[in-house]
């Protein structure tokens, strides 16, 4: 008799993800202790020793320190990971700042810790437990922000982050469970005798994602019928190819329009802005104006992120205002962007950098 169908589904997803990686190197499961990442960790512990060749597999949990008793909770998760057979299994405590809002700040702290862990262990990849439900929520949040096709494309199945100051090729992240729903991971945990931890933050309506999960999506299901989650996730997949092609063209346009040697070389890093803020980004306005809008706005968004504007809070309205500095300039000096970044036009050039730097330069 085979495993429970939910367990089998999670294992198959992990097996396929492992098959798509280089044969050598450790794979790490990032585990919060919730049902999604716990089912992922258990599947990785099962599949890694059965891979050909056998693959080392570890697990890590991040202690954000945002709740009382978080260190105790992290220790419990580590014991579960070790009990599953993941080695090494450990936790990393982080300090969550305030930049870009609480959700973005926690995310940045988490990814920075995962980057460091993966590089230290020379891991081939870090597996994340995001599901189809998470994908649908991400697409709906992107729609609400009005940030274009890239936001509507949702989360990629895999991506590479290049930590600031690192000479390594970067850290690869993989989401094996994007085609599975949250109910499947819960069933898998029950079948394996694993008790997931439900983060209280996942029920806090102060967070936009929680409101989407418990209010917006149920309302859409009620008004339009079942299948909204699947439809949103499918839309994300369909838009990703288009967004990838446009982003590739935009990267070339970025390099062509950037002023070399003045902070203008390079483009947006992997997910989460892994390249880190640059001192400044400078473009020739004439070259930007000659681009189709679909490419130009991508270039402007990438420049704002490279200059330090958090991707999660940079919305289409911000990019549109910067675009007006290029296409509808009537002498306006600057546009203030999230993260203390300012875009301003001067002498036929468009500059992105810290707002304080431009104020200091003008003597205000």
**Half-sphere exposure of residue 175, counting CA atoms within 13 Å on the CB side?**
20
Predicted pLDDT of residue 150: 72
Assess contact for 58 and 121: CB atoms under 8 A. Answer: yes
Flag whether 32 is marked binding: yes
* DSSP label of 173: E
Flag whether 125 is marked binding: no
Question: Over its length of 364 residues, how does the chain's per-residue pLDDT go in tens digits?
Answer: 789 999 999 999 999 999 999 888 899 999 999 999 999 999 999 999 999 889 999 999 999 887 888 899 999 999 999 999 999 999 999 888 777 677 778 888 999 999 999 999 999 999 999 999 999 999 998 888 766 677 788 899 999 998 766 666 789 999 999 999 999 999 999 999 999 988 887 888 888 889 999 999 999 999 999 999 999 999 998 888 888 899 899 999 999 999 865 554 443 333 433 344 445 799 999 999 999 999 999 999 999 999 999 887 888 889 999 999 999 998 888 999 999 999 999 999 999 999 765 544 554 4
Q: Is 298 exposed, middle or buried (0-12, 13-18, 19+ CB in 10 A)?
A: buried
Six-digit token pair at 130? 């995001």
CB neighbourhood size of 2 (10 A): 6
Six-digit token pair at 354? 């810290």
Domain 241-362, CATH number (from 3.40.190.290, 3.20.20.70, 3.10.20.30, 3.30.465.60): 3.30.465.60
pLDDT in tens, 208-218: 889 999 999 99
Give CATH 3.30.465.60 domain extents, the chain. Answer: 241-362
CATH 3.40.50.620 fits 5-130+175-224, yes or no: yes
Q: Is 47 exposed, middle or buried (0-12, 13-18, 19+ CB in 10 A)?
A: buried
Flag whether 33 is marked binding: yes
Give CATH 3.40.50.620 domain extents, the chain. Answer: 5-130+175-224
Flag whether 170 is marked binding: no
Tell me the C-alpha distance between 9 and 263, whole Å: 47
* Dihedral of alpha carbons 119, 123, 125, 131, sign: negative
Flag whether 36 is marked binding: yes
CB neighbourhood size of 172 (10 A): 20
Flag whether 87 is marked binding: no
332 CA to centre of own chain: 34
Q: What is the largest CA-CA distance in the chain?
A: 76
Assess contact for 340 and 331: CB atoms under 8 A. Answer: no
Assess contact for 79 and 57: CB atoms under 8 A. Answer: no
């Amino acid at each position: 008799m085979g495993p429970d169908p939910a367990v089998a589904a999670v294992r198959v997803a992990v097996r396929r993800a492992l098959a798509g990686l280089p044969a050598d190197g450790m794979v790490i499961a990032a585990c919060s202790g919730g049902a999604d990442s716990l089912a992922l960790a258990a599947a990785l512990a099962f599949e890694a020793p059965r891979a050909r060749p056998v693959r080392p597999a570890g697990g890590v949990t991040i202690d954000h320190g945002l709740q009382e008793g978080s260190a105790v909770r992290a220790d419990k998760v580590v014991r579960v990971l070790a009990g599953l057979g993941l080695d090494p299994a450990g936790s990393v405590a982080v300090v969550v700042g305030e930049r870009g809002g609480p959700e973005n700040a926690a995310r940045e702290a988490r990814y920075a810790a995962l980057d460091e862990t993966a590089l230290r262990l020379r891991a081939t990849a870090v597996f994340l437990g995001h599901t189809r439900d998470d994908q649908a929520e991400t697409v709906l949040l992107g729609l609400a922000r009005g940030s274009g096709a890239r936001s509507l494309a949702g989360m990629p199945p895999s991506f590479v982050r290049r930590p600031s100051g690192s000479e390594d090729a970067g850290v690869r992240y993989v989401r094996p469970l994007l085609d599975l729903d949250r109910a499947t991971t819960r069933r898998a945990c029950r079948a394996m005798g694993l008790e997931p931890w439900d983060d209280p933050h996942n029920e806090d309506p102060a967070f936009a994602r929680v409101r989407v999960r418990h209010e917006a999506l149920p309302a859409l299901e009620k008004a339009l019928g079942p299948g909204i989650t699947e439809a949103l996730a499918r839309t994300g997949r369909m838009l990703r190819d288009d967004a990838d092609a446009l982003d590739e063209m935009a990267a070339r346009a970025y390099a062509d329009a950037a002023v070399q040697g003045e902070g203008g070389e390079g483009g947006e890093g992997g997910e989460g802005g892994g390249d880190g803020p640059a001192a400044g980004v400078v473009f020739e306005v004439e070259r930007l104006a000659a681009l189709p809008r679909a490419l130009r706005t991508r270039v402007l968004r990438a420049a704002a992120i490279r200059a330090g504007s958090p991707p999660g809070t940079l919305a289409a309205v911000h990019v549109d205002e910067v675009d007006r500095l290029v296409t509808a300039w009537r002498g306006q000096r600057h546009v203030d962007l999230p993260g203390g970044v300012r875009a301003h036009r001067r002498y036929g050039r468009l500059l992105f950098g810290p707002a304080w730097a431009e104020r200091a330069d003008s003597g205000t």
